[in-house]
Amino acid sequence: MSWLDPDDDLDDDFEDFDESSIRVRPNPKGNRPRTKRRPAHEDAQIGRVLGVDRGRYSVMLDEGGANERTITTTRARELRKTPIVTGDQARVVGDTSGTEGTLGRIVGIVERSSLLRRSADDTDQVERVIVANADQMLIVVAAADPEPRARLVDRYLVAALDAGIRPLLVVTKTDLADPTDFLSYFDGLDLRVFTSARGQMPTDEIGEALIGHSTVFVGHSGVGKSTLVNALVPTAKRATGHVNQVTGRGRHTSSSTVSLRYESTEGSGWVIDTPGVRSFGLGHVNPAGILASFTELAAIAENCPRGCTHLVDAPDCALIEAAQEGELSDTELARLDSLQRLLQTFADKAEASPGTSSAR
Ligand code: GDP
Ligand code: ZN
C-alpha cells in the first residue's frame, strides 16, 4: 500500500466508526468550525466525549472531581447532522447519574478549540472529523521496520499545523537503526523529538509532555504506537503486534478511537489513540494555515505578491528574496526549506488531479 495511494483502505478503517457516516462541508473560513446552535438546555452539564460506539457516546462528567463518572448517552434528534467526536465537550441532559442501564442525551457541543479532520483522499473536499479539541499530535514513526518516510511525517505535520495543533515526534525502534539521518530532515521545524528503543522507552519524558494537554497519537501500523500507549497508560491494554495481513474485518473489530488518561505524580493529560487513522488526505487543507505556523516567516511573507505560493520558483516571493539577499539566519533558512517542503506537499496533491472532484 502506497502512502499516497488514495485507494488504500483508509476508508474501510472507518467503517466501524460512527463518525464515518458524518460528512460535513469544509469550512471555507478556515480551521475553526463554529457551532451555531445555542444551548437549548440551561441545565445541561458539560462533559468530555471519550469515545463513540454504535451511536452511543461515552461522556465523562465532573472530570477530576469527587463525582467523576462516565455515562452513556445518545444524541438528541436535532443533532443528527452534527458530528460528535472524541474530545468534544458535550452538553448533556436527562439521566446523568451514570447508573447502569441509564442513558443521558447530548443536546449540544461546545465550540471547539481545534478540529482534526481528514478527507477521504487528497482531492476529496468532503471531510471527516476525527478528533476535537486536541492541542498536540504525537506522530509515531519507526527508525526501521517499517522504514521511516519523511513524506509521511510531512503529511501528518501539515494536518496538525493546519488544525492549529502542536506536533511532537517519536521515533521508535532506535535499537534497530540510527535515526540521525532521518531526523536531520526536520531540523528546520519547531518539533520536539523523542527516541525510543526496546526496553528503553522515554515514558517519563513523553508523559511530561502530555500533562495538561490532549494529545492525539498517530502513526502507521507496526511502528509501535500501541506498545507506547500501553507503556504510558498501563490500563490501556491496546492490542499490539498485529500483522499487516490481518483481514480488514478482523482488524476493524479492535479499532476504535479512544481517550485514555495519562496519570503520573506530576499531573495528568489525555491520550487519544486513533488506530483507524493511518493518514490524512489533505483535500481540505488551507496553505495559509501552514505558513501561519512559521510565525517569523509569515511576517516576511506579508510582502509577497498576492496569491504567492512561496514555492522555490515563485516569482517575487519576499521569502525567497530575503534568502537570496542573505537576510535570513541559518535557522530561518532551514525553516524556509521545511516550509517550502510542506507547501509542496500541499501543491503536489492539488496537481495530482487538477479540478477533479472526488466521485465519493
Ligand atoms: P502499532 O501497530 O503501531 O500499534 O505497533 P505495535 O505496538 O503493535 O508494535 C509493532 C511491533 O513492533 C510489535 O511486535 C512490537 O513488539 C514491536 N516494537 C515496538 N516498539 C519497539 C522498539 O522500540 N524496538 C523494537 N525492536 N520493536 C518494537
Ligand atoms: Zn512568497
| Ion ligand 2: residues, CB < 5 A | 304, 308, 310, 317, 319
User: What pLDDT does 34 receive?
Assistant: 53
Proportion of the chain above pLDDT 90, given as a percent: 52
Q: Is the CB of 200 under 6 A from ligand 1?
A: no
Residue with cell 488504500: 8
DSSP H or E run through 139: strand 136-142
User: Please, what is the Cα angle at 145 between 6 and 234, to 5 degrees?
Assistant: 95
Distance 121 CA to ligand 1 centre (A): 27
Query: Tell me: the pLDDT tens digits for 297-340?
Result: 999 999 999 999 999 999 999 999 999 999 999 888 988 988 89
- Is the Cβ atom of 193 under 6 angstroms away from ligand 1? no
State the CATH class of domain 287-352.
Answer: mainly alpha
pLDDT of 3-61, one tens digit each? 333 333 333 333 233 333 344 444 444 555 555 555 557 789 999 999 988 889 999 99
**pLDDT tens sequence across 221-248:** 899 999 999 999 998 888 887 544 444 4
Question: Domain coordinates of the chain in residue numbers?
Answer: 45-109, 115-273, 287-352
CATH architecture entry for 115-273: 3-Layer(aba) Sandwich (3.40)
Residue to substitute in 196, 240, 257 for testing ligand 1 pocket (most ligand atoms within 8 angstroms of CB): 240
Strands (DSSP E) found in 199-257: 214-219
Least confident of 192-201, 307-316, 347-356: 347-356
Is the domain defined by 45-109 classed in CATH 1.50.10.20? no
pLDDT confidence band for 294 (50 / 70 / 90): confident
Q: Compute the distance between CA of residue 358 and CA of residue 352 in angstroms, rounded to an integer.
A: 12
Question: Kind of pairing, strands 267-273 and 258-264?
Answer: antiparallel
The residue whose CA has the least distance to atom 6 of ligand 1 is: 224
Cell output for 168:
511532537
The ligand whose atoms approach the alpha carbon of 311 most closely is 2
Q: First-to-last CA distance in the chain?
A: 20
Extended strands (E) in 124-213? 127-132, 136-142, 166-172, 192-195
